[in-house]
Amino acid sequence: MSFGTRGDIQPYAALAGALARAGHEVTLAVPEGFADLVPHTGPGTITHRPAGSTLLRLLRDLMPELGGPLDALRTLGIMTSAMRELNAECWAAAQAARPDVVVCHPKCLAGPHIAEALGVPGVLSLPLPYFTPTCAHPMPFFGGASFGAWGNRASYGLRRMAGAMYGGMINDFRCEVGLGRIGRLADPLRNPDGSPVHVLYPYSRHVLPVPEDYPTSAHVTGYWFLDDGDDVWEPPAHLVDFLAAGEPPVYVGFGSMGFGKGANERRDAILAALRVHGLRGIVATGWGGITPGQAGTGDVLVLEGAPHQWLFPRVAAVIHHGGAGSTAAGLRAGRPTLVVPFLGDQPFWGARVHALGVGPAPLPARRLGTGLAGRLGDLVHTGSYASRAAGVGAAIRTENGLAAGVRVLEQITGVAALDE
């Protein structure tokens, strides 16, 4: 089960497909709007159970009205009933499936408690190193900072944040499914019997090395890419024509960062920076973080979006918000990358991109107007970024993160492929 934008759903749809190809029966609980991502593959089956559709619709309606993450925090109150609905829908999906294991993104607050209520292993999963304490780096929400070995480990105390914020809702749900109450600061990495909770981290060790102090319950598998749609997605004629009309363009898009306030200014800054350097560009408006419309020049194509796995290998460089999925797609394609972070873990991935030598230092979204032209010049004119990105991309393409994820789940459950 997972909730969020496309980047939060796509890896788990990919894992569902890999499990089905290995012969397992899979239930995928995600919002209705992402039903098109569910692979149709066998010999196993995938059952899609809608969960979180109301909450996702609220987010999409609200994002264009927001000015930034602080505005988003102020909307939490109106989200409460939709979050409770998500919990109930995940519980209904699990009751219907009677699973051997529950794999959940932490945005699905009920996931671990559903596993406990059903008496099966619960596995946490998200594509960033959020849960497992390490001396190597702090929790990703601190960007590229380091607080020393002790400070880095201590920062992971914030993994209890969801319980602190939503403890009342979590305990209400636990009561509904016949479980006792727990403390708001309960450790999400400990099962009720004290055993460690397994965590699947679908990112590449070539992007972020696995720390030496990670326990055996932390599994860095490699990325989970959903490639089944490559052969069926038909690019629109105007996109094909634009790509064929000149040199590979620079891609600019901020995905689900649909903060409507400032969208005009971001669009103007992007068009001006491309013009300064005489570059062709593809500008993806996404959820509204960039104002849509005609670019006013034949050198720039403005569109809502296109599958990254199809588009990124066809461009010269990528500029995006630094979401885990966008970062993975750009790096796998071997493209120099500039991250323009808005919130959350995005500054962390921007810092990793720069540390890998595949792009400039991240440019905070608030500095887009004054800093993009200079940073874009750095991105496209520093030859080492392109050569280093090609090497990182080649390394990522050697991994099979999906096979590793399937293998870990089979070991946890003791249920091998094609078992009855």
Give per-residue pLDDT as tens, 84-132.
999 999 999 999 999 999 999 999 999 999 999 999 999 999 999 999 9
Write down the CATH superfamily of domain 6-223+399-413.
Answer: Glycogen Phosphorylase B; (3.40.50.2000)
Give per-residue pLDDT as tens, 131-179.
999 999 999 999 889 999 999 999 999 998 888 888 999 999 999 999 9
Q: Which residues of 368-403 are buried (b: 16+ CB within 10 A; e: fewer)?
A: bbebbbebbeebbeeeebbebbeebbebbbebbbbe
- Tokens 């720039």: give the residue: 300
Residues 319 and 340: their CA atoms lie apart, in Å, by 7
Claim: this prediction has a pTM higher than 0.85: yes
pLDDT along the chain (420 residues), means of 10: 89 95 95 87 91 86 59 62 93 96 96 97 96 96 93 94 88 96 92 95 97 97 80 84 96 75 83 94 78 72 90 96 94 97 92 97 92 96 97 97 97 75
Given this chain, do its domains 6-223+399-413 and 231-397 carry the same CATH topology? yes
Q: What is the pLDDT of residue 263?
A: 76
- Tokens 């790509």: give the residue: 243
Are the C-beta atoms of residues 333 and 314 closer than 8 Å to each other?
A: no
Q: What is the pLDDT of residue 417?
A: 65
Residues 243 and 248: their CA atoms lie apart, in Å, by 7
- Ranges of each domain in the chain: 6-223+399-413, 231-397
For the domain made up of 231-397, the CATH class stated in words is alpha beta
